[in-house]
Amino acid sequence: MSADDRFLHEDNVAAIFAPLQFRHLEVKNRLFRSNLSGMFDDYNGHGGNARLNWEEKFAEGGVACIISSYTPVAVRGRILTRYAMIDDDDKIPFWRAVGERVHRHDCKFLMQLSHSGRQQDLGGVENIYKRGLSSTDKDDYFHGLPAQAMTRDEIAEVVEQFAQGARRARAAGLDGVELHGANGYLITQFLSSGINDRNDDYGGSIENRARFVLEIVRAIRREVGRDFHLQMKVNAVDHNDWLYPWIAKGNDLDDTLKICRILIDGGDGVDAFHVSSGSTFPHPRNPPGDLPLRDVVRWYDGMLSQGTRTRFNYAIFSNPVLSRFFLWYWRWRRGSVIEGINVAYSKAIAEAVRAVDPSVKVLCTGGFQHADAIAGAIRDGACDGVAIGRPLIANNDLPLILERSNGPASGKECTYCNKCLLNDLENPLGCYELSRYDGATFDEKYDRMIAEVMSVFSPPTFH
């Protein structure tokens, strides 16, 4: 490293490894493990040993805080089976064990309280004959997953499920909760002008569309008080029309700024925002990267009977010409910037919320794996910290790498191929990018990859 490079690196390290003080939570640096769902648990929503091992990998690797994977507040709000839930007090002991494992490494743990609404990929046998609860009766536009507009009683029931989820997270000794208000799940379905077509108090104006989540925030505060960390993952922009330009655009940045101001709720509401974008999951902007066509064809088949559009999508994905066109279109809609894809949005949100209440912090997600990009975003005021997903799957010890260099060695970076995402529909979560693994032959690389993916089951439940 030249003297200039060393100076720059020290500057980056100072920005990234400075502690971050939220209103009621302090973390040791600016690196958060973003939400990463994997099917590690029991079918009935009780947590498993693999999840303990999984979360500990990142805590050991040096992140300041882990934001959990999608944690359903009710069975009806599940997106896939075998995710640990928080729908009952009987789940508290498991989450206490997760918190204790992670805390051993001076790492905090936030639980992402979630409800699928209509965006339920494989909801399991309990949900098979039910339409997904939503703000609308319209099917989801991507897979055609069926929806049912919620009644007032159902809204009140789900608000309470979120509140009880937060109470349980606090009882488990966790450090806070995050509302999954982004990427097309139930809270987005209420917030988005492109999805919410109600004509009662929960639809129409921004204030009405935000009523559902504001009721959740207030119910959570009633249960856990003001001193328990509460943040929300938001879509800065919905880009609801990015796959099908003829449908409504959904929320723009101005709408989101108004929603954020509402959720600060005069200082009694949320403590931080976690900025993402895209009103469905996946979306060309989230997780920003590629569509691994071979994996799409191999693993999307499990969803064929789920939605009215899944067979149509599958026909496109498995057609050699149409799939190439779809891939080209997906990449074009994503754009050329992957690392820091949400930075400009995050900056607008950070400036707006600081103007209302400087104690509210902002995290940004999307592609971060290099010190200069992370430190640049923090120094520029675009965010107070970054939430990293796939680059941490690829390199669990990314924080340690960033302490000594600008990023992973050549050939070891996350390639943003999204093979982890597609495999996640049926296989254990892990990095499935063969090119990242050492070996002289395909078989050697493949064996190393499988060994790494399977390492989450070690140590095993029974010794």
Ligand X SMILES: Cc1cc2nc3c(=O)[nH]c(=O)nc-3n(C[C@H](O)[C@H](O)[C@H](O)COP(=O)(O)O)c2cc1C
Contact residues for ligand SF4, defined by CB under 6 A = 289, 390, 393-394, 414-420, 431-433, 436
Q: Can you tell me the distance from the alpha carbon of 449 to that of 319, in angstroms, rounded to the nearest whole number?
A: 28
Query: CB of residue 290 vs ligand SF4: minimum separation in angstroms?
Result: 8
Which residue among the candidates 70, 83, 141, 185 is catalytic per the annotation? Answer: 185
Q: Which two tokens stand for residue 400?
A: 């340690």
Q: Tell me if 37 contacts ligand X by CB under 6 A.
A: yes
CA–CA gap between residue 205 and residue 208 (Å, rounded): 5
Using rule CB under 6 A, residue 276 touches ligand X: yes
Which structure tokens are listed for 375?
A: 């430190």
State the binding string over 153-192 for ligand X (x if CB under 6 A, else -). ---------------------------x--x---------
100/461 Cα distance (integer angstroms)? 17
Q: Does 287 bind ligand X (CB under 6 A)?
A: yes
- For ligand SF4, the closer CB: 176 or 288: 288
* Cα dihedral 211, 117, 114, 377 sign: negative
Residue 70 binds ligand X (CB under 6 A): yes
Of the two residues 203 and 287, which places its CB atom closer to ligand SF4 in the complex?
287
Stretch 71-110 residues interacting with ligand X (CB under 6 A) = none
Question: 373-380: which pairs have CB atoms within 8 A and are 24 or more residues apart?
Answer: 373/339, 373/340, 374/12, 374/15, 374/16, 374/30, 374/31, 374/402, 375/11, 375/12, 375/13, 375/15, 375/16, 376/340, 377/340, 377/343, 377/346, 378/15, 378/16, 378/30, 379/15, 380/343, 380/347
Q: Which does 36 bind (CB under 5 to 8 A by kind): ligand X, ligand SF4, none?
A: ligand X
Q: Among 45, 47, 292, 367, which residue sits at the site for ligand X (rule: CB under 6 A)?
A: 367
Choice between 233 and 390, CB closer to ligand SF4: 390
Alpha carbons 86 and 78: distance in angstroms, whole number:
11
Q: Which does residue 366 touch among ligand SF4, ligand X, none (CB within 5 to 8 A, set by kind)? A: ligand X
**328: Cβ contacts below 8 Å, ≥ 6 apart:** none
Asked if 420 touches ligand X (CB under 6 A), the answer is yes
10 Å Cβ neighbour count for 226? 12
**Residue showing the smallest CB distance to ligand X in the complex:** 389
x-or-dash string of contact with ligand X, 379-408, rule CB under 6 A: ---------xxxx-----------------
Instruction: Please give the Cα distance from 164 to 224 (Å, whole number).
Output: 9
Query: Is the alpha carbon torsion for 126, 426, 62, 354 positive or negative?
Result: negative
Q: State the binding partner of 419 from ligand X, ligand SF4, none, CB within 5 to 8 A by kind.
A: ligand SF4
Sign of CA dihedral 187, 192, 198, 203: positive
Q: Contact at 8 Å (CB) between 179 and 162?
A: yes
Distance (Å, whole) CA 198 – CA 375 = 42
SS3 content of the chain, % helix, strand, coil (to 5): 45, 15, 45
Which residue stretch of 221-229, 236-244, 323-331, 360-368 sits at the interface with ligand X (rule: CB under 6 A)? 360-368
Report the residue number, 170 or 390, with the smaller CB distance to ligand X. 390
CA distance 430 to 419: 9
Identity of the residue, 30 or 198, whose beta carbon is nearer to ligand X in the bound complex: 30
DSSP string computed for 406-434: SSSPTT-S-----HHHHHTTTS-SS---G
Residue placing its CB nearer to ligand SF4 in the complex, 79 or 420: 420
Residue 432 touches which member of ligand SF4, ligand X, none, C-beta under 5-8 Å by kind: ligand SF4
Query: Is residue 120 a contact point for ligand X (CB under 6 A)?
Result: no
Minimum CB–partner distance for residue 362 and ligand SF4 (Å): 24
List 78, 209, 211, 233, residue binding ligand X (CB under 6 A): 233
If one asks whether residue 277 binds ligand X (CB under 6 A), the answer comes out as no
**Least spacing, CB of residue 57 vs ligand SF4, in Å:** 13
Closest of 21, 160, 210, 182 to residue 112, by C-alpha = 182
CB of 289 to ligand SF4, least distance (A): 6
Size of site (CB under 6 A) for ligand X: 26
Neighbours of 204 (CB within 10 A): 14
Judged by beta carbon, residue 102 or residue 149, the one nearer ligand X is 102
Write out the H or E segment, with its range, that includes residue 35: none
For residues 36 and 260, which CB has a smaller minimum distance to ligand X in the complex?
36
For residue 250, the partner it binds in ligand X, ligand SF4, none, with Cβ less than 5 to 8 A by kind, is none
Comparison of 22 and 416: residue with beta carbon closer to ligand SF4:
416
Residue 43 falls in the annotated catalytic set: no
What tokens does 17 get? Answer: 């490894």
Under rule CB under 6 A, residue 286 binds ligand X: yes
H or E segment and range at residue 234: strand 229-235
34 binds ligand X (CB under 6 A): yes
> Which residues lie near ligand X (CB under 6 A)?
34-37, 69-70, 112, 180, 183, 233, 276, 286-288, 365-368, 388-391, 420-421, 424, 429
Catalytically annotated residues: 185
